[in-house]
Structure 1
Amino acid sequence: MNDVAFSRREITASADDIALLRKFYRDIYIYEFPDPNERESLENMERYLRLKEEGWYEANNYHILLFLSDDTPVAGSIIDYLADPNTGVIEFLVVQKDLRKAGVGAQLLAWTENVLAQDATRAGYAAWDYIIAEMNDPFKSADLHDSMDTWERAMVWHRWGYRKMRFPYVQPSLSPDKEPVHNLLLMCKPGTGVNPDSIPPDTLITAVYDYARWAMRIDNPAANQECRDMAAYVRSQTTVPLVPLADYIGDPAGCRLRYSDLYAGDVTDMDLRELDITLDVYAQSFSGGPTSVSVDAFRTSIINRRHAGKPYAYHLLSIKTRSSDQPRGMASFFTFPGVGFGGYLVLDKSIRGKGHLTEIIRVAERTMLADKKGVSGWLGECDPEDDSLPAFLKRGFYEMDVAYRQPPLHDQPPYSFSDAPILHLIYKEFGDTFTAPRLTTKEFLAMISWVYRIIYRIEHPESCDYFQDIKKQLGLLPHCPWKSKID
């Protein structure tokens, strides 16, 4: 597919162009943006075109660009140019489904970016500094209907040079009858001459406020709750990182390590030598005590496929460097209905302390989402005897403000409830996190029941001392309490 396959049309407020816009909206746009809270109304698009003709946008601009095939819209982008931050905004970019993977999106994006460059030149700049765009966050959109696989879409935009802006983006409501949207991320393409790895806080706040003012009709963004919350966070940062999308979503193309799920498939497919080497790495850190399973019991559980055919999923990842087939680490975790649970994470000294933990967390979360068990976060335990807790807190986990007593593991000597070790109980919502989870007590108790039942083999967890103790501590609290993080 090449450029000559389509004609290009920038839509104006003329009657003929409005007819094309209505056809595009009806036949393509609504299907591609099924969430009514995310999509703009046709009436507003037509109004913006009229306002543009009247000069309302001043140094800013608004464009609707369409690709046509025999006068029928097949792709389009809706964009804004914001002069003060010298930033373009891609509100929507969509290609008819049967034309995807043929280079049409890249052609449309090139035209879109060129139009924004012309706007920047008219505003007195050499070129645009940034282009920003919204996208469904794959970690927070698993249960939503989407016209395209969210992981695949993220990689398309990654290849186009866009990066995730690491701050808590929330799309304010587009009209009084719509709700704010919390499952989006804001991505950015840095222009030439600006730092490709970060954006200054003042520039980002100006861009978000102007976007809200000019595209969402929020006359005073500083009075809007979502805008204020975003600005408060951004102002607290010295800079806002721009993270490659492949890194953020844990895509193999962006990973520095390699991962093999030793529990996938049948036991006859398992590489027993790799399993034994992986368990040797485990034994280096977990050589005994109430928080660890013996290597023999671990191996027997894997070989006997204890978790196969159950209403939950289990994963045992061996972790290798790109340059070696020798396992250098392992991560085990469960996906229960409604919650994930981290088992053991071990890295040998050759790769420890080299910044791999964030990537491993992303890979685990992506794997749990693929299990389709309705999960949006995961629990974990940290032993006070080691130094693991701060590393997890730094990467988005929160510690529950309870005294969490660990039941005996099945292959360890039994002990009484009063002698049970007290561990740190942590929880993280998938993807980037910036505030403590809004996890209800009812939700948590259902989650911890799975942990007691499967991990600790307590047949009736709701009646055991451990469950009753933590339930008593939570009392009538509607939501789980969390300990404050100390930087």
Structure 2
Amino acid sequence: MTSNYLSKSVADLLLKHRQKCADKVEEICAIYGSKVAYRKTLVVERIERSDDPRLTEFYQLYLSNFTLEHEQESLEGFAKVLDFNWDSKIQRDYGPFFEPIILLRDPANNELVGAADFALYAYPIQSSEYSGIDASCQLNFLVVRDTLRGVGIAFDLLNHVEMELLQFANQHTGQSPHKVFTTIEMNNPRRMTAEQLDEDATAALMDPNDRTIWWQKQGFYRLDLPYVQPALAPGGEACRYLDFFIRSKFSTEESPKEIPSFVIQEHVRRFFYVSVGKFETPMDDNVEWKEIVEFLGRHPSVKIIRT
């Protein structure tokens, strides 16, 4: 049900889109027999380099979902980070890390139906950052073609990202089972104005509250961290209505109730300096980064809020 904090025109837009997606699901089931059968036909592809011709194709799908200018990454930004995958100095100073893009393609019409951009960070046993946690993932963007909502494509993308994370942990730590976690940024409806809520819902064709519920069902919970994302490009604005969510996969024990602060700091350091700042923003002097470091310095661990 659409939340009552949205304007009537936006609420009506979301209801129409929900029906459009339901009709598409019905059509897929009529052709393939089930949503699962359809998803099994999708082809997994991977972008690792900036000269990959599929990067432009991915970016068009990305723009169809992320239409808000201050939340929007540029094509050049994606290309620059892909180049960092092969920069030995950056890998030495901020690695081991790798930031690929996974694509899902419908071979029936050659159309991209979903994509995920994410960064992988490993913490080898011999490194100073090792805490018993082997690797982490920053899931930057998860995109599904808006007419295919409800098919289960986002769920499949998450599974592919998690498999990549576990493989990365194995590659760089050489031990198993692994302790890993994945983080995401998420718009918090309670920190947004009515205008921002309408703008967000119109751009995403999704109620912001429904988005939060979906991610929580996938096991993501909010970190008790005063989080602000720095501007994605010089001259841009920081995004102040985001929360930082985490999903932990600790196979040897119950999911933790908190994460060591120095692990979160190292994870966010790599994310801010590499993926967000791209070494174009002087992150050493960045107010948002310094405030997070100051907070983490006062707390030995960060709680995971599960309510």
Whole-Å separation in 2 of the counterparts to 1:14 and 1:60: 16
Whole-Å separation in 2 of the counterparts to 1:31 and 1:234: 36
SS at match of 2:40: helix
Are 1:228 and 2:290 counterparts?
yes
Residue 158 of structure 2 is matched in structure 1 by 109
Higher helix share goes to which structure?
Answer: 2
Matched residue type, 1:29: Y
Whole-Å separation in 1 of the counterparts to 2:96 and 2:207: 37
Residue 102 of structure 2 is matched in structure 1 by 65
Give the drift of 1:49.
2.3
**Is the Cα–Cα contact under 8 Å of residues 85 and 97 in structure 2 kept in the other structure?**
no
Are 1:217 and 2:277 counterparts?
yes
**Correspondent of 1:198 among 251, 258, 270:** 258
My pick for the range that moved more, 167-176 or 201-210, is 201-210
**Correspondent of 1:155 among 200, 213, 219:** 213
Give the drift of 1:189.
0.5
Give the drift of 1:129.
2.1
Whole-Å separation in 1 of the counterparts to 2:262 and 2:233: 26
Residue 191 of structure 2 is matched in structure 1 by 140
**Correspondent of 1:22 among 32, 47, 56:** 56
Give the drift of 1:98.
1.5
Distance 1:102 1:123, change over 3 A: same
Whole-Å separation in 1 of the counterparts to 2:140 and 2:302: 21
* Deviation sequence 1:188-215 (CA, Å, 0-9, x none): 0112147521111111111111111221
Give the drift of 1:176.
0.4
Residue 24 of structure 2 is matched in structure 1 by none
* Deviation sequence 1:97-117 (CA, Å, 0-9, x none): 111112111111000111111
Work out which structure has the larger RCO, using CA pairs closer than 8 Å and 6 or more positions apart in sequence.
2
Q: What is the aligned-residue identity percentage? A: 24
Whole-Å separation in 2 of the counterparts to 1:197 and 1:79: 24
- Count of aligned pairs: 242
Give the drift of 1:221.
3.9
Residue 117 of structure 2 is matched in structure 1 by 78
**Is the Cα–Cα contact under 8 Å of residues 134 and 185 in structure 1 kept in the other structure?**
yes
Matched residue type, 1:88: C
SS at match of 2:195: coil
**Is the Cα–Cα contact under 8 Å of residues 48 and 99 in structure 2 kept in the other structure?**
no
Q: Give the TM-score, by structure 1 length.
A: 0.47
Runs of 4 or more above 6 Å deviation:
none
**Is the Cα–Cα contact under 8 Å of residues 82 and 211 in structure 1 kept in the other structure?**
no
Whole-Å separation in 2 of the counterparts to 1:14 and 1:214: 15
**Cα RMSD for the two superposed structures:** 2.1
Q: Give the 5 Å matches for 1:207-356.
A: 207-217=267-277, 219=279, 221-244=283-306, 247=307
**Is the Cα–Cα contact under 8 Å of residues 50 and 80 in structure 2 kept in the other structure?**
no
SS at match of 2:290: helix
Give the drift of 1:37.
2.2
Are 1:131 and 2:182 counterparts?
yes
Matched residue type, 1:23: E
Matched residue type, 1:203: V
Whole-Å separation in 2 of the counterparts to 1:53 and 1:204: 24
Are 1:12 and 2:48 counterparts?
yes
**Is the Cα–Cα contact under 8 Å of residues 88 and 128 in structure 1 kept in the other structure?**
no
Matched residue type, 2:119: D
Whole-Å separation in 2 of the counterparts to 1:51 and 1:168: 28
**Is the Cα–Cα contact under 8 Å of residues 50 and 79 in structure 2 kept in the other structure?**
no
Q: Larger radius of gyration, structure 1 or 2?
A: 1
Residue 176 of structure 1 is matched in structure 2 by 234
Q: Give the TM-score, by structure 2 length.
A: 0.73
Q: Gaps (5+ residues) in structure 1? A: 248-487
SS at match of 1:240: strand
Give the drift of 1:54.
4.9
Whole-Å separation in 1 of the counterparts to 2:292 and 2:138: 17
Distance 1:218 1:97, change over 3 A: closer
Whole-Å separation in 2 of the counterparts to 1:110 and 1:65: 11
Whole-Å separation in 2 of the counterparts to 1:151 and 1:38: 18
Distance 1:153 1:41, change over 3 A: same
**Correspondent of 2:85 among 30, 52, 62:** 52
Matched residue type, 1:105: A
Are 1:185 and 2:236 counterparts?
no
Whole-Å separation in 1 of the counterparts to 2:259 and 2:159: 23
Give the drift of 1:128.
4.7
Q: Gaps (5+ residues) in structure 2? A: 1-34, 124-128, 130-134
Whole-Å separation in 2 of the counterparts to 1:13 and 1:237: 38
Distance 1:78 1:128, change over 3 A: farther
Distance 1:6 1:185, change over 3 A: same
SS at match of 1:129: strand
Whole-Å separation in 2 of the counterparts to 1:175 and 1:189: 28
Whole-Å separation in 2 of the counterparts to 1:43 and 1:196: 38
Whole-Å separation in 2 of the counterparts to 1:201 and 1:13: 32
Residue 223 of structure 2 is matched in structure 1 by 165
